[in-house]
Structures are given as structure tokens and as C-alpha cells.
Amino acid sequence: MNIDLGATLVALMTFFGIAALMALSLNLEYGIAGVPNFGQAVFVSIGAYTTAITYTRLLPLLAGKEVIWPCGPTLGPALQLRSEIMRSYPGAGFLNLAITLVIAALVSGLVGYFVSRIALRLQQEWFLALVLLVGGETVRIFVRSYEPVICANNGVSGVAQPFAWLGNPQLSSILFMLLVLSVAALTWVYCERLVRSPFGRLLKALRENAAVTRSLGKDVALARARVMLIGSVIAAIAGVFFVLNTGYISSNDFVVTLTLDIWVMVVLGGLGNNRGALLGALVITILDRLTAIATIQMNMSAIDLEFNYVRYILYGIILLLMLRYRPQGILPEPARTTNAHDLLTDPAPHVADS
């Protein structure tokens, strides 16, 4: 079997960038703030569905063409129109991507914000996990049954990468990889700064004891809503890139197992540690590729084993082993996270108390 090493690496790093966004989002929500988001798939899927809608409805308008209904009998022409615009109208493509990111972020952020507000009504702590899980499945069933979003079961295909107009698939996928990686890097810097700020301190206090945090004068509900908003925005951006990368949107991609994948990354890397989230994302992306390659190899040598099965068994085992033997993850959360400590360690910390 021939594996094009360069292309594999580019694909791997693109996947890694997307996975890193998802893991950073969950780490912020659960690792730092303790909000158990078992509905990560929904927020990722909001990004994906937004992409489906803008690339079928908005893109033609931006390029000055007429919109063709993307489902049913006009599915073919609509697909052709999309690809043509992506090939010859780079301006429209980029503008569309920018608008998609903004809409996805807004919608997902608002949903996250309101879900966390509603969640305050829940009595037991794990109910939120269940509501998010079930809410995600409900959205998925709705999208699968209601044609206008992604043509129901058919999905929407032909959502090209923003650099498709270059006409050179290799170059455009490298540029796309760079785009994804730089967004992931920016997000990482942002998350790191949040964690080390007083906001991060508030979130960690919240994670440990919400009632006491509240009695110390903090608006706990607002802080939770805000962190859900930020996490949801990040997840939605990951969702947009996810679709642009595969070029295809199907509701089957956003099932509970996607949420579990993200949890595996964060638990593996280290809850509460952004570097850990990145490491977890990298390990899982590589494992994913390796199991895929291994299965193809095995299929060739007539051993019939679906790679998804092996993958999930592996993930289950990783989760159990980590939670059993190293619940803090490969890279545990550092004890000293806010910058304030440097202020007291500095040689001249005694600023006069005015």
C-alpha cells in the first residue's frame, strides 16, 4: 500500500487543529469551570448546520447568482453551482466563510448561554449532563427529519475548502491546514489567558464549590453562562472547519460518540490543563489515523474488522484506564495558575495599601 506521507501529514494536522478546538472548548467548560457538557456534539453541529445553510443559500447571492434549492430534484445543479462559485469567485468564498463563522459563533454562543441559564433549574448535578446529551440527540433528529436544513438524510455535499479556487488541491489543503492551525493556536492563547486571569480563578472556584463562591458575592449563574457561551463559540467554529474539511455534512457525524471522543481527549490529556487538551487531541487524532490505516491494511490481508469498532473499544479502554490510574490526566493541572503569585514573589511586592 502506498501512503502519500505529505498528504497524510497535512490531513492529520488539519484534523488535529479541529480536534484541538473541540478539546479546548470542553476543557474550558468542564476542566476549568466544572460544567459537564455532554452535549458538545450539538454545539459542533450548530457550526456544521450553519455552514450547510450559508453555502447553499448565501454563497450564490454573494457571487451574484440565483439560489438553487439544494435538496430533491435540484440537488445536482445546486451542487454544481456551489463548486463553480468556489472555483471562480474567491472573494465570495472568503466573505461567505467569514459570515458563516460569525453566524455559527453567535447562534451557538446564544444557545450555550441560554442552556446554562435553564440548567439552573435542575436539581441533581448529573441532570445537566443528561439534558445536554438528550438535547443534542433531539436536535439531530429534528435536522434529520426536517428537509430544509441539510436535506434530511441526504446531507449536503460539495462544501469546498475556501482555497479551492487556487486549482491546486495540494496547495489549497496546505493553506486550509494553516488556517485551521492558526485559529486553534489563537484559541489556545486565548484560553490560556482566561485561565490565568481573575475570570479563570472565578471558574475554578465555581468548579470546586459553587455555593460558597456565591456566598462570597459572585454571580455564579452569570459566570457559568459566560463560560458556556465561550465554549460553545469555540465548538461551533470547530464545527465549521469540520465540514469544510470533509466537504460533506451529515447528521450522523454529530452523535453522542463525537461528544465522547472529545471527552476522551480531555480526560487523557489532563482536565483543567490547556496543554493537556492539546496533547489529548493530538494523541486521539493520531490513534484515529493509525487505526484507520491498520484496518485498511488488515482488510487487504483479508482480516475483516471494521475500524470504528476497534477505535471505540480502544477509547473505552483509554477512558477506564485513565480514570482508574491517572484521573488527573497525562499533564495534570498546575497548582499555581494565576499570575497573582508572581506579584507576591517579586522583590518589591509591598505596594502601599492606599
Partner 1 sequence: MLQIRDLTRSFGGLRAVDGVSFDVGDGQVTGLIGPNGSGKSTLLNLIAGQLHPDTGSIHFGGQDITRSSPDAINRLGLARGYQDPALFFQMSVLDNTLLPAREQLGESPWHAPWHARWRGQEQHNAARADTLLERLQLRDLFDRRASDLSGGQMKLLDIGRSLSGEPSMLLLDEPTAGVAPKLAREIFQHIATLNREAALSFLIVEHRLDILFDFVDQVIVLHMGKVLAAGKPDDIVKDVRVREVYFGL
Partner 2 sequence: MPPALLITSLVHSIQVGSLYALMALGITLTMRVIRLPNFAHAEFVTTGAFTALVVSLFLSRSPVVILGLATLSGALVALSSHLLVFRPMSRRKLSTYSMLLVSFAVGLILRYVLFVLSDYYQLFDKRIQIPLQILVRESYLVLTNITFTIVPVSIACVIALALLLGRTALGREMRALASNPELAHILGMRVERIRSLTWLLTGATAGLAGALWGLYTFVNPLLGWLAILPVFAAAILGGLSSFAGTILGAYLVAFCENTLMQALNHYTGLTFSFKAAIPFVIIILVLLLRPQGLTGFVRRSGDLER
C-alpha cell at 171: 496547495
- At its nearest, how many Å lie between partner 2 and the CB of residue 129? 6
User: Which residue, 294, 205, 344, 259, is CA-closest to 37?
Assistant: 259
What is the spatial distance between Cα 150 and Cα 182, in angstroms, rounded to a whole number? 29
C-alpha cell at 120: 439552573
Residue 250 has a CB neighbour count (10 Å cut-off) of 19
* Cβ distance to partner 2 smaller for residue 9 or 122: 122
38 membership: H or E segment, kind and range: none
- At its nearest, how many Å lie between partner 2 and the CB of residue 202? 20
What is the spatial distance between Cα 142 and Cα 147, in angstroms, rounded to a whole number? 9
What is the spatial distance between Cα 268 and Cα 277, in angstroms, rounded to a whole number? 8
- Under rule CB under 8 A, residue 208 binds partner 2: no
* Residue in the structure block whose three cell numbers are 460553545: 232
User: Which residue, 46, 41, 161, is CA-closest to 104?
Assistant: 46
The one of partner 2, partner 1, none whose footprint includes residue 200, by CB under 5 to 8 A per kind, is partner 1
- Under rule CB under 8 A, residue 98 binds partner 2: no
C-alpha cell at 227: 463560560
- Under rule CB under 8 A, residue 142 binds partner 2: yes
* Cβ distance to partner 2 smaller for residue 80 or 138: 138
* Cβ distance to partner 1 smaller for residue 222 or 305: 222
- Under rule CB under 8 A, residue 222 binds partner 2: no
What is the spatial distance between Cα 287 and Cα 266, in angstroms, rounded to a whole number? 15
What is the spatial distance between Cα 105 and Cα 69, in angstroms, rounded to a whole number? 25
- Under rule CB under 8 A, residue 350 binds partner 2: no
The one of partner 2, partner 1, none whose footprint includes residue 123, by CB under 5 to 8 A per kind, is partner 2
The binder of partner 2 chosen from 324, 346, 351, 352 (CB under 8 A): 324
- At its nearest, how many Å lie between partner 2 and the CB of residue 90? 39
Sign of the Cα torsion 23, 25, 30, 36 reads: negative
The one of partner 2, partner 1, none whose footprint includes residue 215, by CB under 5 to 8 A per kind, is partner 1
- Under rule CB under 8 A, residue 114 binds partner 2: no
Residues that bind partner 1 (CB under 8 A): 190, 193-194, 197-202, 204-205, 208-209, 211-220, 223, 226-227, 230, 333, 335-341, 343-345, 349-354
* Cβ distance to partner 1 smaller for residue 118 or 171: 118
- Under rule CB under 8 A, residue 148 binds partner 2: no
The one of partner 1, partner 2, none whose footprint includes residue 197, by CB under 5 to 8 A per kind, is partner 1
The binder of partner 2 chosen from 7, 67, 118, 186 (CB under 8 A): 118
* Cβ distance to partner 2 smaller for residue 290 or 343: 290
The binder of partner 2 chosen from 72, 114, 182, 309 (CB under 8 A): 309
The one of partner 2, partner 1, none whose footprint includes residue 299, by CB under 5 to 8 A per kind, is none
What is the spatial distance between Cα 179 and Cα 237, in angstroms, rounded to a whole number? 12
- Under rule CB under 8 A, residue 263 binds partner 2: yes
Where are the alpha helices (H) located in the chain, listed in sequence order? 5-26, 40-53, 59-62, 75-88, 90-119, 125-145, 147-150, 169-195, 198-208, 210-215, 220-246, 256-269, 274-300, 307-325, 340-345
* Residue in the structure block whose three cell numbers are 485513565: 322
Residues within window 223-262 making contact with partner 2, judged by CB under 8 A: 257, 260
User: Which residue, 108, 86, 118, 117, is CA-closest to 41?
Assistant: 108
Binding site for partner 2 (CB under 8 A): 30, 36, 38, 118, 121-127, 129-131, 134-135, 137-138, 141-142, 144-145, 152, 257, 260, 263, 267, 304-306, 308-310, 312-313, 315-317, 319-320, 323-324, 327
